[in-house]
Amino acid sequence: MKKILITGGAGFIGSHVVRRFVKNYSDYQIYNLDKLTYAGNLENLRDIEDAPNYTFIKGDICDAGFIQQIFVQYQFDGVIHLAAESHVDRSITNPMAFVETNVIGTVTLLNAANHFWKDKTDKRFYHVSTDEVYGSLGEEGFFLETTSYDPKSPYSASKASSDHFVRAYHNTYSLPIVVSNCSNNYGSFHFPEKLIPLVINNIQQNKPLPIYGKGENIRDWLFVEDHARAIDVIFHKGKDGDTYNIGGFNEWTNIDLVKLLCKIMDEKLGRDPGTSEKLITYVKDRAGHDMRYAIDATKLKNELGWEPSLQFEEGLEKTVDWYLANQKWMNDITSGDYQNYYKEHYQA
């Protein structure tokens, strides 16, 4: 039985990865390590929390002694590392938290894997990263796996640093690694500080929809379940030491995305067309705001056979339906009441 450690498994992307591995690989034991910060939510995994091949571990990836202890205790065969501080705005106000989690935490895990995986031939350290490490694109072109790094925010700088450390451990110690860099994710269980769940929630409550600058910044959007599927494929079939870009092959300006969400929400809530658009409010642009991200995921398609399963409009409608059907989840996570569940069930 393979023993796989997934860090940050109670978060948005991590919970989808944990669920996929628990359900699809009954011969694997999946260990979900999460610190349960504000964005970690065990309610995301209620449907699989009693599965016989699933174990939750509460802990901090920056705690070297603790990380060494669980490597000894569980004898992991693989690590899928998703635990990270990920919100650009928060990185601008508190960059040190991003250095600690994204850089120190990653190196702490690398040290443990390198120490305990003496026979490294059948092990794998998979580091999940972001397209933001590449910087900002002009009107044309795409990020490739060979694109030079040019991070613009404390968040992307911290992720770029962690990427470099992962590759350095491969080159220096022959640690078996793969790295992926993904575009913006969307879907269920997304913490509502991010654009799409924020807009959905604010429309329901008739609150302003804040748009940075003129809303002309462009992002490539990736359905989170497609991302989890890509992680599955790369973990099992990716070439040792390689990097894979994961993108949704669809670019949207922020303002066009928000207007599409307004249209969908008006239809779902039975409101007159154009009602929600009146909530759009333009606010001062974010410092160092990258203009455009766009990923070329051709390598992943050609070498490993992955491609997105949904068109963006279809995925977005599916996402809206999920949030409307799971209002209690949204209310709990925005109120903080879900933390009481942790205190009752996970005191460690």
What SS3 class is residue 252?
strand
Angstrom distance (rounded) from CA 169 to CA 240:
12
Any idea which residues carry the catalytic annotation? 131-132, 155
Per-residue tokens: 7: 């860090």
What count of other Cβ atoms lies within 10 Å of the Cβ of residue 262? 22
Please state whether beta strands 251-253 and 218-223 pair in parallel, antiparallel, or not at all (unpaired): antiparallel
Angstrom distance (rounded) from CA 170 to CA 127:
12
What are residue 252's DSSP bridge partners? 219
- Distances from the Cα of 33 to the Cαs of 16, 17, 164, in angstroms? 14, 13, 23
- The phi and psi torsions of 101 (rounded to 5 degrees) equal -75, -50
Specify whether the CB–CB gap between 287 and 92 falls below 8 A: yes
Render the burial of 94-127: b for 16+ CB within 10 Å, e for the rest.
ebeebbbbbbbbbbbbbbbbbeebeebeebbbbb
Residue whose token pair is 């766009």: 294
